[in-house]
Amino acid sequence: MASANTTVPLERPKEMSANPARRVAEDLAAEWRGRGGFPPGFTDFSLARTHQAAHDPLPMLLAAYEEFGPIFSLRLLHTRVIFVLGPEANHFVTVAHPENFHWRESSFGDLIPLLGDGLLTVDDAFHDRARAIMMPAFHREQVAIATEVMTAEAEAAIAALPVGGVVDVYGWMRSLAMRIAMRALLGLDPDEAGKGAAAAEHFERALGFYGIDFALRLLRGPGSPWRKMNTSRAVLDEIVFAEIARRRAQPDPERRDILSLLVNVRGEDGDAFSDREIRDQVITLMFAGHDTSTSTVTFMLHELARHPDVLAKLCAEQDQVLGGKPPTIDQLEREMPYLDMVLDEVLRLYPPAWIGPRRAIRDFEFGGYSVPRGAYVNYCSWASHRIPEIFPEPEAFIPERFTRERKAALPRGAYVPFGGGQRVCIGKRFGQIEVKLVASMLLQRLRLDALPGRTMTIRQMPTLSPKGGLRMRILPRT
């Protein structure tokens, strides 16, 4: 059997340059090699279009879909990017022909300085091996254990809300999601200054790098966001690697956090993760789960405040099933179908992982057009979920469109908030349980009202979220 620090001798993922000038040169060379092979679209150089793509891409993508169909090109900054929209496109990229694409050479490569070689930034056999080793950490019984952590943290966070006061619910949920991640993923006490609290602080600082304007992310000098991100990553790495070493030296089968499981887990042939691989996977899980849960709960509360009829039906279901008690995993997964419909509709309108960037590794054809090797190819769930032929009244919040029968009747690829195929989100169940548990516990006790005149603006990076947070008034449930 392999020892704790051995790995199957696979070729390591390709190193990606962090030099912006080199990346631009490589992109231009790839476009030159594929000249004549791009589908039509808006392909002139336009700073206005590039700005809109970074700040308000949805109207532009839907307009291009109406004019050009399910595949089109947009020139953003220096390079052409191909977008494919709609059910057939989503299915083609995620399920039917994922072998045409890599994630690492797409814009996911920008995440490597923080995430390393985690599931989001590796491909082919290296990805498949890592996913196979990690799967036991996300089996239902493991998620059930994590549910105990979620319940305890949600109980304390809800009790601390100032009834009658105004709270940024995005910031509140972000703090709660981080505490859950510290305990359930890393097995750290979020109140311990030298470990959990420091890890949370520096993870947030590092993650903030991906929420600033793209132009600022290109800077590399002293005091730049890039330097600050790397400084926080170094502190975070020191904490995580020390925890890995401690748990290797002092195995404790009673520890059920994800980090401890990854230290001890073995593949079918006895293969195990190296220290670096463990670090990269847990940081990737924190990145993928922290922002998405935060945004989804926030958007759910926003829509429920705007639709009191939906809120009333949801609360009636909770009263009947829960009777004022915290929900169990069985109740969350099987006994509250209207809560599932509400969550599905929130994820249709606001899929946190709103775009699926890829890069073509071979020539292929789709929608009557040839796409050259090396082209950037993006599918976009945010835009696809708003195609009126698939989802009538696409801007309306209608949970009933996700009854079991209507959901089953959707075309394949129509609804993809978690991706699809062999790379569907590994933490899908964990994230859904967290969102439903927090929402259930909160809404059993409190009502959250929108502030008069308050509008919500969505920002896209690194995941969909309300720009500037979302302030709401906390009231007792009546």
Q: pTM for the complete prediction?
A: 0.93
> The tokens 């071979």 sit on which residue?
362
- Closest by Cα among 343, 352, 277, 291 to 314: 343
pLDDT digits (tens, 9 = 90+) for 50-100: 889 888 999 999 999 999 999 999 998 889 999 999 999 999 999 999 999
- Based on C-alpha coordinates, what's the Rg of the chain? 22
pLDDT at 28: 81
Q: Where are the alpha helices (DSSP H) in 354-395?
A: 381-384
Give the residues across from 253 on adjacent strands: none
Rounded Cα gap, residues 408 and 35, in angstroms:
41
Confidence band for 5, pLDDT divided at 50, 70 and 90: very low
420-474 residue pLDDT tens: 999 999 999 999 999 999 999 999 999 999 999 888 999 887 789 999 999 999 9
In the predicted structure, residue 1 carries a pLDDT above the cut 60: no
pLDDT of residue 370: 93
Residue spans per domain, the chain: 20-476
DSSP conformation letters of 101-143: EESTTTGGGGGHHHH-SSGGG--HHHHHHHHHHHGGGGSHHHH
Q: Return the pLDDT at 211.
A: 83
Q: Which pLDDT score, from 0 to 100, does residue 347 have?
A: 98
Confidence of residue 2 (pLDDT cuts 50, 70, 90): very low
pLDDT tens for 278-334 read: 999 999 999 988 889 999 999 999 999 999 999 999 999 999 999 999 999 999 999
What is the average pLDDT score of the chain?
92
Q: In this predicted model, what pLDDT tens digit does every residue of 213-229 receive, in sequence order?
A: 877 888 888 999 999 99
Tell me: the pLDDT tens digits for 169-219?
999 999 999 999 999 999 999 999 889 999 999 999 999 898 888 778 888
List the CATH code of the domain at 20-476: 1.10.630.10
pLDDT of residue 9: 55
Q: With contact defined as beta carbons under 8 Å apart, do 118 and 280 qualify?
A: yes
Mean pLDDT for the stretch of residues 371-388:
96
Contact 344, 338 (CB under 8 A): no
Model confidence at 3, pLDDT cuts 50, 70, 90, reads very low
Bridge partner residues of 366 (DSSP): 369
User: Among positive and negative, which fits the CA dihedral 110, 115, 116, 119?
Assistant: negative
Q: Does residue 277 have a pLDDT over 80?
A: yes
Helix (H) or strand (E) holding 285: helix 275-306
Q: Which residues pair with 72 in a beta bridge?
A: 83
